[in-house]
Amino acid sequence: MDDAKASRAVELHIHGKTRLFDVDDPVLPDWVKDGALGSGGYPYKKKVKDEDYLKELAPLQAELVKVQFWLQATGKRVLSLFEGRDAAGKGGAIAATSAHMNPRLARAVALTKPTEREQGQWYFQRYVAQFPTAGEFVLFDRSWYNRAGVEPVMGFCTDEQYEHFLKQTPLIENIIVNEGIFFFKFYLDIGREMQLKRFHDRRFDPRAIWKLSSMDIAALGKWKDYSEKRDRMLKETHTDYAPWTVVRANDKRRARLNLIRHILMTLDYDGKDKAAVGEIDEKIVGSGPHFLS
């Protein structure tokens, strides 16, 4: 094992056992492969089949096009945040949601780390600049909630900044809702073995390797820290007016279907086909911090 490879091997403590995980080893360990889908208490033993997924997804995406026509006609606005651990499926969920909407009015926002100028601004300022105008549907791939997770875990903010954020955020989100914006907050939750499997998949897929960063590897040993920050974030910022919708996302397809259903069931848009929307799987989607307890 050369030095570069050795630096990527991480000793993990999982279910009372010490495991060595090397993302550069082309052979995925059996304990990851066999435990991935059921990790984190996931309630299903099988994933949704591809043909079933596509059959269910098409009418949901057609309903989202209706939503877009409704937004254009009324000038209403939708703002949706997608949060979760690395490899939770945020980008894929955003892509499935917006795939058939007019890209001029349905924007995905994925901000890079703040510039020197932005570091001197009010923390929320660069996010507010991306908020929807009349008729827009904006989807944030990560958001201001970086300060509730990755920043405190990785030491990118002070304890004082972290605590201030948790106190200030419900106030800001109250303003968003009172402004008349339809506001969704999704937390996509995955199990530990599933995250490892997805990292490994990215490592050996030349189309997706760009998604695996050094930050991902550095965070592998901080699962407990991220879990603690997740739990506190959900507890402190889940409100009646801006609730967290938690989605169990070990199966990306099942997660996307139910996430889109939640959006469609919440919005009172013209021409809604309730049969096409269907019913939400309550084993997959829940509200607030207690859903994961």
Whether 6 is in a domain gets the answer no
Whether 100 is in a domain gets the answer yes
Local structure of residue 114 (DSSP, 8 states): P
Whether 20 is in a domain gets the answer no
Q: Give me the mean pLDDT over the 258-266 stretch.
A: 98
Residue 12's DSSP bridge partners are 19
Predicted confidence band of residue 5 (pLDDT cuts 50, 70, 90): very low
Question: Which CATH number fits the domain that encloses residue 51?
Answer: 3.40.50.300
Whether 292 is in a domain gets the answer no
Structural domain boundaries enclosing 208: 28-286
> How confident is the model at residue 255, as a pLDDT?
98
Whether 222 is in a domain gets the answer yes
Whether 147 is in a domain gets the answer yes
Q: Is 141 exposed, middle or buried (0-12, 13-18, 19+ CB in 10 A)?
A: middle
Q: What is the pTM of this model?
A: 0.95
Question: Which tokens sit at 254?
Answer: 């099942």
How many domains, in total, are found in the chain?
1
pLDDT at residue 1 is higher than 70: no
B/e letters for 100-126, b = 16+ CB within 10 Å, e = fewer, are ebeeebbbbbebeeeeeeeeeeebeeb
Mean pLDDT across the chain:
95
pLDDT at residue 293 is higher than 90: no
CB-side neighbour CA atoms (13 Å) of 125: 9
**How far is it, in rounded angstroms, from Cα 215 to Cα 3?**
18
Whether 293 is in a domain gets the answer no
pLDDT at residue 2 is higher than 70: no
> How confident is the model at residue 126, as a pLDDT?
98
